[in-house]
Structure 1
Amino acid sequence: MSAIAGVFHDHDEPVSIEVSEKMMKSLAKYPANHVRTWHDRSVFMGCHAQWFTPESVHDRQPCYDERHGLVIAADAIIDNREELFNRLQVEHSRRKRMTDSELIVEAYLKWGEDAPSYIIGDFAFVIWDDRRRRLFGARDLAGSRTLYYVHRPGQFAFCTVMNPLLALPGVRKELNESWLAEFLAIPIILDTIDVRSTVYRHIGQIPPAHSFTVEDGSLKVERYGTLAADVPKLKLRSNGEYEEAFREVFREAVVSKLRTSRNVGASLSGGLDSGAVVSFAAGPLREEGKTLYTYSYVPRPDFTDWTPRSMVADERPYIQAVVDHVGNIAHSHMDFADRNSFEEINDLLELMEAPYKFFENSYWFRGILEQANKDDVSILLHGGSGNYTISWGPALDYYARLLRKLRWVRLYRELEQYGKNMRVGRSRLLPFIGKMAFASPSPSSKPLPNIPLLIHPELAERTGVFDKLKHHDVGLNDSWMNEFEARTYQFDQLSILNHQGTSSTKLSLKYAVRERDPTCDPRVVRFCLSVPVEQYVQNGMDRSLVRRATERYLPESVRLNQRVRGVQGADWIHRVIPSWSAVTEELHELCRDTRASRFLNVEQIKASLTTIGHPPKPEQAFDRHARLLMQSLIVYRFIRQCS
């Protein structure tokens, strides 16, 4: 894994060595095993490398292939190495030591600009093709690594993070109003829909699943693939065959992400997704003589769980059941008693280089990465996309579909079993399912009146932001997608992937710990999309496929748990209450500051302060007004930094 940077002048103008040095110097805040640069008269490329895989210790990027006139700077971990070796007919004697960057070059030599579509893994890379005077690069299908750029007449500059690009003459911290409008208007955790722009007006980004070419003064950015398109339906003969096929694909994805010369860790909650990842990783690591390090966030000891009976904020009993059942695990329960969302803001703004919305979980995200770094963990597995892949299976949406198709017999049998499992009668279920089956909500450009909006009305009007957002399910209207549509949207809508990749890249660079998600591996995504829906909801059980496929892998208390769901971040207000006077004081300062009132809805901030009260109650953790207040502070501090 690396941070890469570069500048290209396409009119034979010499690259400024001073600017290049400034760009590399701004990467010095991240730990590195190796820093190297390469340049000729009109091209500069640099790499700030963190070594994780056994092969990467031999990597000296930027790498210059003199025979073919190619230079590569890559931030990449490739998962389908064996497949690529065979396709490219790489000699067996070269395979063990071949670095991922060298493998990308080989793919480029064979397939040219189609090369990214053959590569599975987390990557962003740039290749300078000296003979063609062409710069080519790409970002992986899931957008797991970021790639920002500045494009001006005669010049193209790129970098893994944004701050080095601000070293370029004329590139300032000028806010992009359109990006900021989307960020402020979207009430859910998603940042923006626009995946090509950034918070800064002069800095763009290559979207997930896209490649770019700079040649003859022009920039071409185009999509090369998708996680979800044209997946043929899988037809097997029995439940057992589907379960075994699942295990085979998922095992391959998990094992491919264990490739490191250091330790492997995993974030572990009490649910199916992270439990499945851990259970499939621990065995192969045992065969290597390694122990799996797992980390779980738990609330502070003085927190009283206010969540309903169907939820649980402290998942320790389920987590411990997984640890005991799976074995070969060194586990840490972590409550981060001295940390809270308010005191993390400045550090997170520096890391994220932009406003962010995951403040409820920010302190334990960072805390787990810090501890993983201390344990010499370089790969941290998680199951972040599992809800739409391995553990998908929305029972009620499926029953609504059966009702629409008038499949009465199957619906009757399923509801009978589901009612027994959930201890609820069919008479209570049918009205709800009927409403789901025949509701016809439609997208609207007007947000619901009960949603408090952080965006200033004038900013919303001059950017037309609500018209831009009306065809996207971003929490502004009654949800108009069922779970079937939402699943397709999850993998087709690049903004969701981009949002996840942005935080993962920037946090991983800081702590030299690479987060990796087997549940979003393209092989897993495509397999899960190919499986008939009847495999996912069966005999009154939601998420049926993963529950059946993990028999013996997971304890029954976790595998068959349908009634209780873990909820993380429920104690963030409880943690912030001692600092609430400081929060309130800063919010009053915000309301008086004209720098903020151009963008933020000051009247709504005042109203939300009144609604929440002083001090707030812990059970207001997911209240829209409480979230708006914390988000307004984050944006306000960022605006002040840019002033």
Structure 2
Amino acid sequence: MHGWLDDLDTLIEELGAEAHGAGRNPARLYDLALSRWGDETDLKLTGTYAAITSLGDGRLRLARSPWSAPPLHFVHSAERAMASSVIRVLFEAGHPREVDYEFVADQLVQDHRPLQTVGWYRGVSRVPIGTRIVLSAKGAEITPYYDPHRVTPVHLPRDEDYVAAAHDLLARSARLALQDCRRPGLMLSGGLDSAMCATALLGELPSERRLATFTFCPDPAWDGRNQSTQFGNERPYVEAFAAMHPRIDAMFDNTGQFDTGLRDILRANDLPTANVANTGKYHGPWQMARTAGCDWLFNAEFGNFTISNDGRWSYVEYLKRGKWRQLAKALAQRGGDGRPLWRKVLALSILPLVPRRLRVALRRLVHPGDGDPVSNVSGLSPAARAAQAERARERGTDALMDDYHYPRSRAEFIARIWESADSGEDLDLAFERLYGIRRRDITAHRPLIEFCLGVPTRQYIHEGVDRWLARRMAEGRIPEKQRTERRQGNHHPDWHVQLGRRRAELAESLERLRDHPVLGEMLDIDRLNGLLEDWPEVAPLDKAQALPRAFAMTRALTAASFVCYAEGRNDF
């Protein structure tokens, strides 16, 4: 078993005398629970875990907890059945290490294929979240045991009762997280989620204990240029928040680039970053946490799914239900959106409801300057993209940005965040292995998630104020300027200055890829090199100019690093 179970004391009492003899060993307690409750076990337990159980008759039972879980990879054939959270174990046990190039192409266009068993290597499968798989001589029996749409609606007498309930659940999550923690650390941003987690952790720590926090900041050479709807430097908000809470030891790092620590991540876990994303800026905070002696590093990555949900499905919901006043206020007060109200209604309430092909055509007609949304983030050659698109059509999957719109209903929101939750676990494990620190998301506590999914829409967007639940939770706990901030944080505002100073190096790396038997054809190297040659004087703010350089090029290089590492090549 890899991970943890929540509230062990209650579980031990439920399981009785035999559980008292198991101590607080999660693996032994899980086995006892499985013997008592059978396949209902994973629904009854709360926690973050991946479990492998030998059923004693040649079968292996594999399970990952809902919403958040360590990875679990497996190989199953007529000759063998084996599973491990660390994929390298499967290679060392004899399975060939062969990259699945079709999966690499899928990730480059952001066709993430969540909740499926496919992965980065041929013949190596993965267990999705909320799923159990039984391996036997007859095959693999796959059962998604958890249904995220089975939401219990939450109806409380007063608006303030929702705030109190959310505070209680967040505090409980913090309390559980601190049970086995000697020195806690927290990834702290200038937003609402992690700040609220910081106050919850401080509330559960003894008054003499301090909380170390870690924040990444832009490159010192960044010129401050950014979208009007975003802020690029978290530090001023974090410093003001730390001044309000003197028990916080705030630390900052500005050294991370898109590929910082990438080879270390690959060596730690043999897998690339989640969705081939740029995660180099996280290494500085992790290194500072290790230097500070932290044994756990907490975060609030589920915050936008839970306490600071912005309720954007309301744009369609209010239209369908004829809530014209609330719709007008929600649209009129959208931060950074200066379009007239009638255009917002068309774009955000009506356009999402028209047939997909018409919707895509209309969007590209109205916004021709935005470029192709998939090409903006993908470095695939035209031939490779066409082949990927044909495979996607056959299996019924889509590139994320091909038809992106806000969720049209709560159900669609739940489906999206459930898919999003089924990614990133291998990267989390790689950071843990690399820095010797355990990671936990305070906002990924299942009771908190299920509560937030059942809360009425008006608790998230009310009288035009988005993130209304989180903003009320934060009253008196975070500085008012931060609490009322409508812009979103931009994690990579400094891409232009960082990539610009490395143009020659990056162009040389791209040229070396021409000789690779697969990547040389899969990637559009001429286009990517052209982006480096035609380098703008300042960071462009339009999507068609910014995204291909900030994301398509860097993600292509990240994918290439993984492929060459997996194949044992030293030329890249």
For 1:281, the equivalent position in structure 2 comes to: 201
Pick from 552, 556, 565 the counterpart of residue 628 of structure 1: 552
Quick check: 276-285 or 450-459, which moved more? Answer: 450-459
The 5 A counterparts of 1:185-264 are 185-186=109-110, 191-193=112-114, 195-216=116-137, 218-226=139-147, 228-264=148-184
1:139 has 2:64 as partner:
yes
1:547 has 2:454 as partner:
no
1:298 has 2:204 as partner:
no
Change (3 A) 1:517 1:443: farther
The 5 A counterparts of 1:562-641 are 562=486, 564-600=487-523, 602=524, 605-613=525-533, 615=535, 619-620=539-540, 623-626=546-549, 627-641=551-565
Change (3 A) 1:90 1:283: farther
The 5 A counterparts of 1:55-454 are 74-90=1-17, 97-130=23-56, 132-169=57-94, 171-186=95-110, 191-193=112-114, 195-216=116-137, 218-226=139-147, 228-287=148-207, 289-336=208-255, 339-342=256-259, 344-356=261-273, 361-394=278-311, 397-411=313-327, 414=329, 419=333, 428-439=340-351, 440-443=353-356, 450=372, 451-452=374-375, 453-454=378-379
Distance in structure 2 (CA, Å) of the matches to 1:127 and 1:470: 33
After superposition, what is the alpha-carbon deviation per residue over 1:567-603, rounded to whole angstroms, capped at 9, x for unaligned? 1121134223322201011112223443323433x3x
Change (3 A) 1:617 1:590: farther
Q: Which runs of 5+ in 2 are unaligned?
A: 365-370, 568-572
For the 8 Å contact 1:264–1:292, the answer to whether it is kept is yes
The AA in structure 1 aligned to 2:45 is I
Distance in structure 2 (CA, Å) of the matches to 1:467 and 1:359: 22
Report how far residue 492 of structure 1 moved. 3.4
Q: Which runs of 5+ in 1 are unaligned?
A: 1-73
Report how far residue 321 of structure 1 moved. 2.1
Report how far residue 105 of structure 1 moved. 1.8
Find the residue that maps to 2:415 and give its secondary structure: helix
Find the residue that maps to 1:101 and give its secondary structure: helix
Change (3 A) 1:163 1:471: closer
The AA in structure 1 aligned to 2:62 is G
The TM-score with structure 1 as length reference comes to 0.78
For 1:28, the equivalent position in structure 2 comes to: none
For the 8 Å contact 1:150–1:165, the answer to whether it is kept is yes
Change (3 A) 1:399 1:480: closer
Distance in structure 2 (CA, Å) of the matches to 1:444 and 1:349: 39
Distance in structure 2 (CA, Å) of the matches to 1:641 and 1:561: 42
For 1:67, the equivalent position in structure 2 comes to: none
For the 8 Å contact 2:278–2:555, the answer to whether it is kept is no
Report how far residue 523 of structure 1 moved. 0.8
Distance in structure 2 (CA, Å) of the matches to 1:218 and 1:423: 53
For the 8 Å contact 1:139–1:207, the answer to whether it is kept is yes
Change (3 A) 1:394 1:204: same
Report how far residue 325 of structure 1 moved. 2.0
Distance in structure 1 (CA, Å) of the matches to 2:101 and 2:563: 12
The AA in structure 2 aligned to 1:323 is A
Change (3 A) 1:345 1:154: closer
The TM-score with structure 2 as length reference comes to 0.87
For the 8 Å contact 2:274–2:427, the answer to whether it is kept is no
Change (3 A) 1:542 1:290: same
For the 8 Å contact 1:286–1:328, the answer to whether it is kept is no
Task: Answer with 1 or 2: which has the greater Rg.
Answer: 1
For the 8 Å contact 1:325–1:555, the answer to whether it is kept is yes
Change (3 A) 1:168 1:102: closer
Report how far residue 472 of structure 1 moved. 4.2
After superposition, what is the alpha-carbon deviation per residue over 1:376-395, rounded to whole angstroms, capped at 9, x for unaligned? 21221111121121101246
Find the residue that maps to 2:405 and give its secondary structure: coil
Find the residue that maps to 1:499 and give its secondary structure: coil
Distance in structure 2 (CA, Å) of the matches to 1:434 and 1:571: 34
The 5 A counterparts of 1:41-60 are none
Report how far residue 457 of structure 1 moved. 4.6
Quick check: 273-282 or 376-385, which moved more? Answer: 376-385
After superposition, what is the alpha-carbon deviation per residue over 1:71-122, rounded to whole angstroms, capped at 9, x for unaligned? xxx1121123233223323589668x42222221221121123322222111
For the 8 Å contact 2:221–2:497, the answer to whether it is kept is no
Distance in structure 2 (CA, Å) of the matches to 1:86 and 1:485: 36
The 5 A counterparts of 1:31-42 are none
Find the residue that maps to 1:331 and give its secondary structure: strand
For the 8 Å contact 1:535–1:545, the answer to whether it is kept is yes
Distance in structure 1 (CA, Å) of the matches to 2:494 and 2:37: 51
Specify which structure has the bigger relative contact order, considering alpha-carbon pairs within 8 angstroms and separated by 6 or more residues: 2
Distance in structure 1 (CA, Å) of the matches to 2:202 and 2:108: 42
For the 8 Å contact 2:259–2:279, the answer to whether it is kept is no
The AA in structure 2 aligned to 1:380 is L
Find the residue that maps to 2:185 and give its secondary structure: strand
For 1:533, the equivalent position in structure 2 comes to: 457
The AA in structure 1 aligned to 2:141 is K
Distance in structure 2 (CA, Å) of the matches to 1:573 and 1:593: 28
After superposition, what is the alpha-carbon deviation per residue over 1:14-48, rounded to whole angstroms, capped at 9, x for unaligned? xxxxxxxxxxxxxxxxxxxxxxxxxxxxxxxxxxx
**Identity score, percent:** 19
Distance in structure 1 (CA, Å) of the matches to 2:315 and 2:15: 47
For 2:367, the equivalent position in structure 1 comes to: none
Distance in structure 2 (CA, Å) of the matches to 1:92 and 1:134: 25
The AA in structure 1 aligned to 2:98 is E
For the 8 Å contact 2:190–2:235, the answer to whether it is kept is yes
C-alpha RMSD of the superposition? 3.1
Distance in structure 1 (CA, Å) of the matches to 2:260 and 2:281: 12
Report how far residue 506 of structure 1 moved. 1.9
